[in-house]
Amino acid sequence: VTAEKAGFDHFMLKEIYEQPKAYRDTMGSRIDATGKKVVLNEIGMTPEQIKAIRNVHIVACGTAYHAGLVGKSVIESLARIPVETDVASEYRYRSPIITPQTLVIVVSQSGETADTLAALREAKRNGARVLAITNVVGSSVAREADDVIVTWAGPEIAVASTKAYTSQLIAFYLFGLYLAQTLGTKDEAYIADVVSALQELPAKVEHILAQSETIKGVAEQVSTHNNLFFIGRGLDYHVVMEGSLKLKEISYIHSEAYAAGELKHGTLALIEEGIPVIALATQGDLFEKTVSNIKEVKARGAHVFGIHEEGEAELAKVVDQVFAIPATLPLLTPALSVVPLQLLSYYASLARGNDVDKPRNLAKSVTVE
């Protein structure tokens, strides 16, 4: 068993550390030799079929759903096609408007989640084309979808998903760029810039992992609380949703992820002296607004742990502790900013003496609806 964990104490930690490799493998030959564009030979859709897409529905459960929330921003920003992201167990029951011009993207690490599979079948019954993003070649989802982008994260054993989520993000970046190339929504120079920034991500993740001791210190403080908040705006909001889920899954600490601007509409009532708030502030255009929201919780006694980009000097002045991630394009930050949150959950779970890899009540793959 120790050998399988390659010297790590838990599968989760091993899988967190495997992310640079998972990013490289998922990008692999999908970036052409010039390093300037994306090649997705596995996509059978013709350029005409891609041009006919009127809307995209992304459907998934759990952590894969959170990847799908980022996927929505990625596709809308790169390809300018309207996207909705749904939890699979809700999707079928809300009579979604699915037409043959709808592309339904199902995201599933295992490819066997019952609700996701049922959503895929519903989409096909309504004539939509289905693209699967999955980590398991030959899974039910992979077999039934029209097109498949495999995430090459390798087997994920820990119940709490880490490298599968980030590989799903990489798959969305690649697919978004592919759509942009086909539709002409972004020019070649822009695409080349994003591709080059994507290729720098693995080394940047390694840089974050090298500072895991800092996160461990924060996790040990967090582990003594029973309640905390995560806040962020835009993509940061979607990343903190994943951070909060991860923390709940393995530390059993209650937390809520809030869109920072929405706090004042209710949740602010729960902020009291000493409560930890984890604030993600990596999105330059939203930075000032996030800082105002941080000041709102600080004024009510919260202890704020802020995550920002290297080189940004303001956040340190308003929060109690800061952690910097390497700078990248705003669209790509989720692939970096989630890493300290994964480490935070891991070390908080460890500090509480929980079974990190096998949390109570949860299963790796849920094959009942």
Q: Of residues 237-296, which lie at the interface with ligand G6P (CB under 6 A)?
A: none
Instruction: Kindly indicate which of the ranges 40-48, 104-112, 194-202, 204-212 contains the residues binding ligand G6P, using the contact rule CB under 6 A.
Output: 104-112
Instruction: Return d(Cα 78, Cα 69) in angstroms, integer.
Output: 15
Stretch that binds ligand G6P, among 39-47, 76-84, 109-117, 322-330 (CB under 6 A): 109-117
Long-range CB contacts (< 8 A, 24+ apart) of 38-43?
A: 38/174, 38/177, 38/178, 38/181, 38/191, 38/195, 40/149, 40/174, 40/175, 40/178, 42/147, 42/148, 42/149, 42/150, 43/131, 43/147, 43/149, 43/175, 43/178
* Contact call for residue 113 and ligand G6P (CB under 6 A): yes
Question: Which position among 31, 40, 64, 348 is part of the footprint of ligand G6P (CB under 6 A)?
Answer: 64
Q: Which of residues 134-173 bind ligand G6P (CB under 6 A)?
A: 159, 161
Interface residue with ligand G6P among 62, 68, 202, 306 (CB under 6 A) is 62
Measured in whole angstroms, how far is the alpha carbon of residue 65 from the centre of its chain? Answer: 8
Q: Tell me the C-alpha distance between 149 and 356, whole Å.
A: 29
The Cα–Cα gap between 292 and 315 comes to: 11
Question: Are the C-beta atoms of residues 109 and 60 closer than 8 Å to each other?
Answer: no
Which residues, in sequence order, are bridge partners of residue 147? Answer: 131
Is 364 labeled as catalytic in the residue annotation?
yes
Instruction: Round the CA-based radius of gyration of the chain to a whole number and report it.
Output: 20
The interface region with ligand G6P, picked from 33-41, 44-52, 182-190, 360-368 by CB under 6 A, is: 360-368
Q: Does 26 bind ligand G6P (CB under 6 A)?
A: no
- Rounded alpha-carbon distances, angstroms, from residue 134 to 116, 130, 143, 174, 234: 11, 12, 11, 14, 25
From CA 46, how far away is CA 182, in angstroms rounded?
9
- In the list 19, 73, 102, 110, the residue contacting ligand G6P (rule: CB under 6 A) is 110
Least gap, CB of 152 to ligand G6P (angstroms)? 15
CB of residue 248 vs ligand G6P: minimum separation in angstroms? 11
Is residue 282 within 8 Å of 337, Cβ to Cβ? yes
Q: Is 349 in the site for ligand G6P (CB under 6 A)?
A: no
CB of 2 to ligand G6P, least distance (A): 24
Sole binder of ligand G6P in the list 40, 59, 61, 235 (CB under 6 A) = 61
Nearer to ligand G6P, 116 or 345 (CB): 116
Q: Which residue is nearest to ligand G6P (CB)?
A: 62
Of 291, 281, 297, nearest in space to 330 by CA = 281
Q: Considering only residues 116 through 135, tell me which ones interact with ligand G6P, judged by CB under 6 A.
A: 116
Tell me how long the chain is: 369
CB of 109 to ligand G6P, least distance (A): 3
Identify residue 14 by its one-letter amino acid code.
K
Q: Which of 37, 124, 216, 364 is catalytic?
A: 364
- 366 part of the interface to ligand G6P, by CB under 6 A: yes
Q: Is 24 in the site for ligand G6P (CB under 6 A)?
A: no
Site residues, ligand G6P (CB under 6 A): 61-64, 108-110, 113, 116, 159, 161, 362, 364-366
Catalytic site positions: 364
